[in-house]
Amino acid sequence: MRAFRKTTTAALGVAVLTLSACAGIDTSGSGGGLLGEFEPSERQTMIVPMSAGGGSDLSGRAIASGLEEVTGRTMSVENQDGGGGAVGYANFLGLQGNASHLLATETALVNLGLTQDVPFNWESFTPVMKVGQDSTVVVVKSDSPYDTCPDVVDAAKEGKVLAAVSGGATGNDAIQFGLIEKDQGVAFQRVPYESGGEAIAAVLGGHVDVGLTNPGEVIGQFESGDLKPLCVIAEKRYEYEELADIPTTVEQGIDVTFSQFRGVIAPGGLTDEAVDYWVDASKLYVKTEAFQEYMSSNYMQVDTAFGSDFAAYLKGYEAELKAGLG
């Protein structure tokens, strides 16, 4: 399997070299000339702390192949899932000072530290790049009596509202329902699901009243009219044409916002040169067409931040989440 993966990455490397040659990026000679003094090793690894196939996995693979293109070095992807990401992050903790490993990160980086007994928090690592964020859409079945998010909240005040929660009791769905519950003084009856797909199936089948989803996963259901979006849990509306009509929670009088960031971190304890190298490479990556295409095909909002700016974002995010979960 190792050998197998090596050949694929080697083949990828060749393809990438040709591509980057076409794009006019000079990858011949040492990487030092292009991206500062630091010289990375020949083989890089992108750790994905979630299983193959999820959103984290797709973003990790997209970013890894993009970084291969700009650095001219091969970067293989390794899934280390388990414990809602805890296993991957904990192993990453053991790679202190190792500049040839990156990790495809998202909100679990902060959530895990706040909700679980784990030996790390986001400050244990080196923030490199935030690519942008996903906002969550509250959805119901097309024939549901609810038309707005306050309708759902009012219903929960009077009776039972079944809410599909995927991603575990400390995942993003649970956190967002928790924030709404706290803000509005209501309680939803949570029905746990393994994956977002199962949760959407439950909404469509009428087994739960309301669900949460990233719009990229259900845009086809919106088009066919099987699912009805009620609101986006955010301050600003989506800019994508297909989603711009969906009002926000704030517009509807629910003072709850939450965004699911995605990005890349490096292990802690890196030299300044190494950090600069990855930050510079990331800045080159977000200028590529591949990046724009990845973001738009997944309906993600581009909002980049690098190095210390990403760290500042994480600090604010953590404080907000702490206050919200109270």
| Minimum distance of other proteins from residue 24's CB (angstroms) | 19
As a whole number of angstroms, the distance between CA 306 and CA 286 comes to 11
Question: In angstroms, rounded to a whole number, what is the distance separating the alpha carbons of residues 301 and 66?
Answer: 18
Q: How far is the CB of 300 from other proteins (least distance, A)?
A: 11
Q: Which is nearer to other proteins, 205 or 326 (CB)?
A: 205
Which segments of the chain are extended strands (E)? 43-48, 74-79, 101-106, 126-135, 137-141, 162-166, 189-193, 211-213, 227-232, 259-266, 301-306
Furthest-apart CA pair in the chain: how many Å?
Answer: 69
Work out how close the CB of 218 gets to other proteins at its nearest, in angstroms, rounded to a whole number.
Answer: 8
Shortest spacing between CB 109 and other proteins, in angstroms: 15
Nearer to other proteins, 30 or 116 (CB): 116
Q: Which is nearer to other proteins, 200 or 274 (CB)?
A: 200
Closest CA to 177 of 211, 148, 135: 211
Q: Among residues 204 and 250, whose Cβ is nearest to other proteins?
A: 204
Residue 247's contacts (CB-CB under 8 Å, 6 or more residues apart) are 148, 231, 232, 237
Report the residue number, 100 or 252, with the smaller CB distance to other proteins: 100
Q: Supply the minimum distance, in Å, between the C-beta of residue 317 and other proteins.
A: 20
Cβ atoms within 10 Å, residue 8: 12
Q: What is the smallest separation between the CB atom of 304 and other proteins, expressed in angstroms?
A: 20
Smaller CB separation from other proteins, 118 or 279? 118
Spatial separation of the C-alpha atoms in residues 219 and 214, rounded to whole Å: 9
Summarize as ranges the residues that interact with other proteins (CB under 8 A): 1-2, 5, 8, 11-12, 15, 51-54, 57-58, 61-62, 65, 77-84, 86-87, 90-91, 115-119, 160, 162, 168-170, 189-195, 197-198, 200-202, 204-208, 216, 218-221, 223-224, 226, 294, 297-298
Q: Helix, strand or coil for residue 182?
A: helix
| Measured distance CA(18)–CA(106) in Å, rounded | 31
Find the shortest distance in angstroms from Cβ 35 to other proteins. 22
Residue among 99, 101, 125, 102 at smallest CA distance from 112: 125
Two tokens, residue 75: 């970067």
Per the DSSP assignment, residues forming a β-bridge with 305 are 130
Question: Minimal distance in Å, beta carbon 293 to other proteins?
Answer: 8
Distance between CA atoms of residues 113 and 190, nearest Å: 23
Place of tokens 């199962």: 198
> Which residue number, 84 or 229, has a Cβ lying nearer to other proteins?
84
Nearest distance from C-beta of residue 206 to other proteins, angstroms: 8
Compare residues 72 and 307 and give the one whose CB is closer to other proteins.
72
Q: Which is nearer to other proteins, 211 or 307 (CB)?
A: 211
Distance CA 139, CA 269 (A): 43
Q: Which of 245, 251, 227, 248 is nearest to 144 (CA)?
A: 227
* Bridge partners for 141 per DSSP: 227
Secondary structure of residue 244 in the 3-state scheme: coil
